[in-house]
Amino acid sequence: WTRTPVSGCHGCSIPPLRETLVTEHRSAWMDDELEMFRDAARRFVENEIVPNDPRWREQHHVDRDLWTKAGEVGLLCTDIPDQYGGVGGDARHEAVVVEEMGRRGITSFGHMVHSILAHYVLNYGSEAQKLDWLPRMASGELVGAIAMTEPGAGSDLQAVKCRAVREGDHYVLNGAKTFISNGLHAGLVGVVAKTDPAKGSKGISIIMVETKDLPGYRVGRVLDKIGQNGWDTAEMFFDDCRVTASCLLGPAEGQGFVQLMRDLPYERALLALGGVAGMEYALQLTVDYTRTRKAFGQALLEMQNTRFKLAEVKTQVHIARVFIDDCIAKLRDGTLDTVTASMAKLWITDTQCRVMDECLQLFGGYGYMKEYPISQLYADSRVQRIYGGANEIMKEIVARSL
**Residues classed as catalytic:** 267
- Amino acid 147 reads A
Q: Which helix (H) or strand (E) holds 326?
A: helix 304-333
Half-sphere exposure of 56 (CA within 13 A, CB side): 23
- Amino acid 121 reads V
Residues in the chain: 402
Vertex 66: Cα angle to 206 and 373 (nearest 5): 100
Euclidean distance between CA atoms 79 and 96, whole angstroms: 11
| Cβ-based neighbour number of residue 329 at 10 Å | 17
**DSSP string covering 1-46:** -B-PPPP--TT-S-PPPPSB-TT----TT--HHHHHHHHHHHHHII
Using CA atoms, how far residue 339 sits from 155, 232, 261, in Å, is 17, 30, 12
* Closest C-alpha among 163, 89, 156 to residue 122: 89
Euclidean distance between CA atoms 385 and 180, whole angstroms: 17
Contact yes or no for 171/243 (Cβ under 8 A) = yes
Burial of 252 (0-12, 13-18, 19+ CB in 10 A): exposed
Q: Which helix (H) or strand (E) holds 282?
A: helix 256-292
* Bridge partners, residue 175, by sequence: 238
State the sign of the Cα–Cα–Cα–Cα dihedral 158, 163, 167, 170. negative
* Closest C-alpha among 336, 328, 342 to residue 270: 328
* Bridge partners, residue 238, by sequence: 175, 217
- Amino acid 226 reads I
* Closest C-alpha among 3, 52, 48 to residue 24: 3
